[in-house]
Amino acid sequence: MTSLLLKHPFFVGAVVLWLLNESLVGQDDFLSVEDLFEDDDRVAAETIADPIEGFNRAMFGFNDYVYKKLLAPVSKGYSAITPDPLERGFSNFFDNIKYPVRLTGNILQGKVEGAFQETGKFLVNTTLGVAGFHKASNDFPNLNPPIEDIGQAFGAWGIGEGFYIVIPFLGPSNARDLVGRLADRIPDVTNTPWTVLDSSTDRILFWTTDVLTDSPALVYRYESFTQAAIDPYEAMKDGFTKYRIQQIRE
Amino acid sequence: MLSKSTLKTFLLFTALSLPVAVLQSAELPEVQLKKTIEAVIEVLYKVDDSESLETKRAEVLSVLDQSFSFDVIIRRTLGRNWEKLSPDQQNQIVTLATDLLIHSYTREFTAGRKPTVAFEKPLELSTNKIEIASVLSLENTNINLTYRLAKLESGWQVYDLIVEGVSLVSNYRKQFDAHFQKKNGDELIDQLEAKLDAL
């Protein structure tokens, strides 16, 4: 090979050039439009278990009414009278106070780094962020872990999602996440037995304010989603399921 | 005067450089996508705000057309139901559904102050297919948007968009499958027109 290269360098170079060209021409190929309509386009989309579809559709209709006719007007009124910085401040405060739930979600999945990041985020926002009203952690790129909850921990442990269920007022869920939601209440500092709120009236007022502060973003997202959908029920079912799969994968 | 061997070396070097130069002249898909998305944001957040949202949407569509293959996206959302439609119905549905998508897409970009977008490096999915993840930073929230692109004869084109883990194509396919279990193409056209009228 060496003697061939020494005796006929131009010939060897030409062969190399030809091989290189072949490989580059190969890379330069393109797909036809038909190539993109793979086999999965020809078959039905995979199904999500929905044995109580009748109940779920009724609850979806109920929630749709509540969001559009009750929550949206209240939310728009709240946004109109609340200055933007104050609105953000309230939203940050309620987000910060849910730290124990996110921490539990991290610990149950063995996410040590996430648990440390959540703790750091809580400490920074509570101190530098003045009791959580300012999201000071935004200035620290390492203090932005994915949001975890107990339902995600169940998913990470290999527990299947079970059947789809629409919860009145709360929206889409599934059997696994419904149990997760209930379990999320255990480390929640606004719930008994740890609660820092003395009376049930205080707790209801607190939760109502929490929903109200989240409502502008929630209503905006909900309207975006349903406006673009042909079948909002199916779109929400698929969207929620895939979103949770993504969260668990993270 | 060049010696024979120097001339051969020169010719060989020039010939080897040619294909590389040709490849470099084509714009990288991530560069093209970034330019398109930034152009969309520029249209939606023009300082001169006298244009109506409808005019802006028409401009957005013409910008997106450079990188998005709506024909492919809509046909993929219909999947096996595509064959149930007449050519006329197919054309109408592609036009109406594209309008609906543009409304939805532009709405995400117009919440509050001008958003910023950060793109990650492309990830190869298979031959001539890549995906590019991005984070759209809005006033109060970040949205993960992943663009799937295929190299077609017309260049790199987006054929699916993944929003927070939810594939646009797959999500609409679910809805269209549910529709065609009980209804037909004409009813879908009526429904799309009613949706657009209500926006």
Task: Give the alpha-carbon dihedral of A220, A221, A227, A228, to 10 degrees.
Answer: 140
Cis peptide before A193 (omega within 30 of 0): yes
pLDDT score, position B198: 84
Rounded-to-integer distance, Cα A128 and Cα A92, Å: 13
Chain centroid to CA A83: how far?
27
The pLDDT value given to residue A2: 54
User: Locate tokens 């797959």: which residue?
Assistant: B170
Per cent of chain A over pLDDT 70 is 84
For range B10-22, the mean pLDDT? 50
Instruction: Read off the DSSP letter of residue A29.
Output: -
By DSSP bridging, strand B123-126 and strand B142-152 are: unpaired
Enter the tokens of residue A142.
């390492």
Instruction: State the complex-level ipTM.
Output: 0.77
Domains of chain B: 4-198 (3.10.450.710)
pLDDT at B187 over 90: yes
**What number of C-beta contacts closer than 8 Å exist between A and B?**
123
Q: Which of A205, A225, A153 is nearest to A183 (CA)?
A: A153
Neighbours of B50 (CB within 10 A): 6
pLDDT in tens, B63-110: 998 899 999 999 999 988 998 999 999 999 999 999 998 887 777 666
Question: H-helix or E-strand containing B23?
Answer: helix B4-25
Residue A241 C-alpha, separation from nearest chain B C-alpha, in angstroms: 9
pLDDT for A198 equals: 72
Q: Is the pLDDT at A61 greater than 80, yes or no?
A: yes
Local structure of B157: helix, strand or coil = strand
pLDDT value for B109: 66
Contact call for residues B171 and A239 (beta carbons, < 8 A) = yes
Contact A153, A105 (CB under 8 A): yes
Which of B137-145's residues contact partners 24+ apart within 8 Å by CB, and which partners?
B138/B108, B138/B111, B138/B112, B138/B113, B139/B111, B139/B112, B139/B113, B139/B115, B140/A88, B140/A91, B140/A217, B140/B112, B141/A217, B143/B108
Q: What is the amino acid identity at position B106?
A: T
Chain A from 212 to 241: CB within 8 A of any B CB = 217, 220, 224, 227-231, 234-235, 237-239
Residues 80-119 of A with CB under 8 A from B: 88, 91
pLDDT above 90 coverage of chain B, percent: 46
Sign of CA dihedral B143, B118, A146, A91: negative
Q: What is the distance in angstroms between the Cα of A45 and the nearest Cα belonging to chain B?
A: 6
Residue A25 has pLDDT above 50, yes or no: no
Rounded Cα–Cα distance for residues A81 and A61 (Å): 29
pLDDT in tens, A152-208: 999 999 999 999 999 999 999 999 999 999 999 888 877 766 677 777 788 888 888
Q: Do B174 and A245 touch (CB under 8 A)?
A: no
Rounded percentage of chain A residues whose pLDDT exceeds 90? 47
Q: From the list A36, A229, A238, which residue is nearest B170 (CB)?
A: A238
Contact between B165 and A242 using a beta-carbon 8 Å cutoff:
yes
Closest residue to A24, CB basis, from B23, B129, B195: B23
pLDDT attached to residue A242: 92
Q: How far apart are CA B150 and CA A37, in angstroms?
A: 12
Nearest to A242 by CA among B196, B29, B165, B187: B165
Number of H helices, E strands in chain A: 12, 2
* pLDDT for residue B11: 55
SS3 B22: helix
User: What is the DSSP secondary structure assignment for residue A228, as one 8-state letter?
Assistant: T
- Chain B residues in contact with A249 by the CB 8 A cut-off are 165
Residue A50 and residue A163 in contact, taking contact as beta carbons nearer than 8 Å: yes
- Treating both helix axes as pointing N-terminal to C-terminal, what angle do A99-108 and A112-127 enclose, rounded to 10 degrees? 170
Contact present, B73 and B158 (Cβ < 8 Å): yes
How distant, in Å, are the alpha carbons of A34, A67, B96, B157, B161 from that of B69?
13, 34, 15, 6, 11
